Structure 1
Amino acid sequence: MNITIIAGARPNFMKIAPIIEAIKQKNAAGVALNYQLIHTGQHYDKNLSDTFFEELDIPFPDINLNVQSGTQAEQTGAIMIGFEKVLVNNPTDLVLVVGDVTSTMACTIVAKKAGLKVAHVEAGIRSGDLTMPEEINRIVTDSLTDYFFTTTSLASETLKNLGVSENQIYFVGNVMIDTLLKNDNRLQQPKLWRTLQLEAKKYLVMTLHRPSNVDGEQQLKALISQLAQLGKDYPIIFPVHPRTKKLLEGLNLNFPNLHYVAPLGYLEFNYLVKYAFAVLTDSGGITEETTVMHVPCITLRTSTERPETCTIGTNVLVGNDPVKITHAFEELLSGNWRIGDIPELWDGCAAERIINHLVDIYKVS
């Protein structure tokens, strides 16, 4: 059996690493599984791309489409054109996509037009917010997918309610947590730890990249100013996404406790998260990691496709509402933040379940 695996952006790399490892384990056991890894090049900054292959022991891609930057339409079109050529020259039995980035949707469309089966890892999650490009990607991908691998039972129920047959849905757990648990003892203290004289549980980590937070200069300025002032007693470490860096230039957002740093690799960034007092973010994936690490997380979004991080985990949604942000800080600083639990099947074995299901589906021996 031949599987084509798609990776395009930072979150994808964390999700494909355990899947590739599970395939290799099957190979070692004599099961005839082959794969090719396609990197679309959607993220092209070295710290957002190549570093992950090195750190997570992922083989470098068989093919890189080198799409790089552009509008949503430009990236989608370029990925589709490039991936169509790949499929013509590299026959496959199954295209496996992960997550909800542009590459996920674009490659799914191409695969289905080529008459191929598609497996979607992290299927069925929804935020209900159609202003998010990722939500469009999820809806389109799941409307075409053949095999749905879900992170939670809620995601499985969402798919059933949309009319997906129960025998196409496989609740397997969270592959990103597979990667986190496997690498927990490999996390690396970044150089900035000593430079900034950080101490465990005495600093905050912040990430911002969503248009609702960073596209408007006044909104971005007000948000960062409030966060810096509320967290004035703690250093705030802010690895700046390339997109956000451009928007910050000229805003003069300088606070003594706010430290802008370059994007970090997986092992260094998660070291910072693990030992942080709290995380301030508008990322979805980071809320999953903070939940498993029992780190308080204030999410600067009004909706989430990962509600289990709020109902079970350590996450609270505040959007960019100054009142909600202030209340969240009050809870945090009072020491009343809940410890949280870990969702079902977030146990480090999701990728193994996925590959076992595919072996059964295709009767590979």
Structure 2
Amino acid sequence: MLVDLIAGARPNFMKISPIIDAVIAAKNDGKDIDFRLIHTGQHYDKNMSDSFFEQLGIPQPDVNLGAGGGTQAEQTAAIMVGYEKLLLESRKPDICLVVGDVTSTMACAITAQKLHVKVAHVEAGIRSGDWTMPEEINRLVTDSITNYFFTTSEVANTNLRNSGIGDERIFFVGNTMIDTLIKHRPRFQKPDVWDALSLEDRGYLVMTLHRPANVDQEEKLKYLIDEIVANTEGLPLIFPVHPRTKAMLNRIGISHERLHMIEPLGYLEFNFLVERSKAVVTDSGGITEETTVMGVPCMTLRDNTERPETITLGTNELLGTDPQAIAPAMKKLFGGSWKRGSIPELWDGHTAKRIIEILLQKA
């Protein structure tokens, strides 16, 4: 069995890495399985990507489609054209395995199905209900043409059942991002900013912002950051800045003594900071999963989430996008009344192994 593993953006590689390990382990155990790693080129930053591959032990891609940037339509088209050409000119895989909800996920799923290649979707069934998010459209389209659905929670299972998917195609396996976290947690690396600012455990906060609702309006972004800084009880705020956000920050000239805007960090360095922080303020979905497993308080600046288990079970709270929600949440945090949280079922580090075992049985 040949499995195409599709990845196009940084979060994809966190989800793909343990699947690569599981395929290699199964092959070494005598199973008839191999993989082809397809990098669509949706996002690529040489400095970040090279260290990322090295840190997570990911082999260099077998194919890079080189799709590049552009509008949603341009990017989708470039990925589909590139992947279609690969499927027509080389050996077809038995399975096209896509992860998450980026443009590459949807584009390769469509291309594979049109050429009669079965699709497996890892992280299937998650929903925010917000159709203004490109990721939500990607999830809906991908799940409408998927053969095998690998899910992270019972909520996702219910979403799929409600859309008419039969239980025989739904497999509750856990979370491959947590496989990666558990494997590499002992290897987290101290970033330069730790010594440069003389940081101490629980003596600072970490922030990430990149979603349009938070960063595309100058006055709102400034108000949001001002509120966060004003309510962090004098602690440093470490802000690895996403390229999308950096352009806006440069225009409005935000500056605070305790706000430390730094370049994006590698996986091991970023999670070193998160694990030791007082709390994380973010609009990222994946970070809410990692903070839940690490037991770190997390404030999500979004009006909805596709990962409700991080709220019902984990350490995450959904604050919305109104900056006035910051002060009450910070008061709760510094008052010592933030919830402890627990780890969702099957987020145990063995998800990828379960996925490969099921594919070997079904495909």
TM-score, normalised to structure 2, is: 0.98
Q: Which residue of 1 aligns with 2:18?
A: 18
In structure 1, C-alpha distance between the alignment counterparts of 2:35 and 2:102, rounded to whole Å = 21
Q: SS of the residue aligned with 2:251? A: coil
Amino acid at match of 1:154: V
Distance change in 2, residues 1:220/1:323 (3 Å): closer
Q: Which residue of 1 aligns with 2:225?
A: 224
Q: SS of the residue aligned with 1:238? A: strand
The offset of 1:51, in angstroms, is 2.3
Amino acid at match of 1:255: H
In structure 2, C-alpha distance between the alignment counterparts of 1:87 and 1:134, rounded to whole Å = 25
Q: SS of the residue aligned with 1:201? A: coil
Amino acid at match of 1:28: N
Q: Which residue of 1 aligns with 2:272?
A: 271
Q: Which residue of 2 aligns with 1:3?
A: 3
Shifted more, 58-67 versus 173-182: the winner is 58-67
Are 1:145 and 2:146 an aligned pair? yes
Check the 8 A contact 1:302/1:318 in 2, yes or no: yes
How many residue pairs match? The answer is 362
Q: Which residue of 2 aligns with 1:49?
A: 49
In structure 1, C-alpha distance between the alignment counterparts of 2:47 and 2:160, rounded to whole Å = 35
In structure 2, C-alpha distance between the alignment counterparts of 1:254 and 1:304, rounded to whole Å = 30
The offset of 1:48, in angstroms, is 4.4
- Structure 1 residue runs of 4+, over 4 Å off? none
Q: Which residue of 2 aligns with 1:302?
A: 303
Amino acid at match of 2:79: I
Taking only the aligned residue pairs, the percentage that are identical comes to 60
1:341-360 correspondence to structure 2 within 5 Å: 341-360=342-361
1:170-249 correspondence to structure 2 within 5 Å: 170-249=171-250
Check the 8 A contact 2:227/2:324 in 1, yes or no: no
Q: Which runs of 5+ in 1 are unaligned?
A: none
In structure 1, C-alpha distance between the alignment counterparts of 2:160 and 2:233, rounded to whole Å = 44
Q: Which residue of 2 aligns with 1:93?
A: 94
1:29-108 correspondence to structure 2 within 5 Å: 29-90=29-90, 91-108=92-109
Q: Which residue of 1 aligns with 2:315?
A: 314
The offset of 1:217, in angstroms, is 1.1
Check the 8 A contact 1:94/1:117 in 2, yes or no: yes
Q: Which residue of 1 aligns with 2:115?
A: 114
Check the 8 A contact 1:47/1:263 in 2, yes or no: no
In structure 2, C-alpha distance between the alignment counterparts of 1:177 and 1:142, rounded to whole Å = 22
Amino acid at match of 1:266: Y
Q: Which residue of 1 aligns with 2:167?
A: 166
Please give the per-residue CA displacement for 1:45-67, whole angstroms capped at 9, x wherever unaligned.
23543322111001110011122
The offset of 1:232, in angstroms, is 4.9
Q: Which residue of 1 aligns with 2:283?
A: 282
TM-score, normalised to structure 1, is: 0.98
Shifted more, 336-345 versus 45-54: the winner is 45-54
Q: SS of the residue aligned with 2:141? A: helix
Shifted more, 68-77 versus 196-205: the winner is 68-77
In structure 2, C-alpha distance between the alignment counterparts of 1:224 and 1:232, rounded to whole Å = 14
Distance change in 2, residues 1:234/1:343 (3 Å): same
Amino acid at match of 1:19: I
Shifted more, 219-228 versus 339-348: the winner is 219-228
In structure 1, C-alpha distance between the alignment counterparts of 2:67 and 2:316, rounded to whole Å = 34
Check the 8 A contact 1:9/1:49 in 2, yes or no: no
The offset of 1:115, in angstroms, is 1.2
Amino acid at match of 1:343: P
In structure 2, C-alpha distance between the alignment counterparts of 1:324 and 1:248, rounded to whole Å = 22
In structure 1, C-alpha distance between the alignment counterparts of 2:228 and 2:46, rounded to whole Å = 29
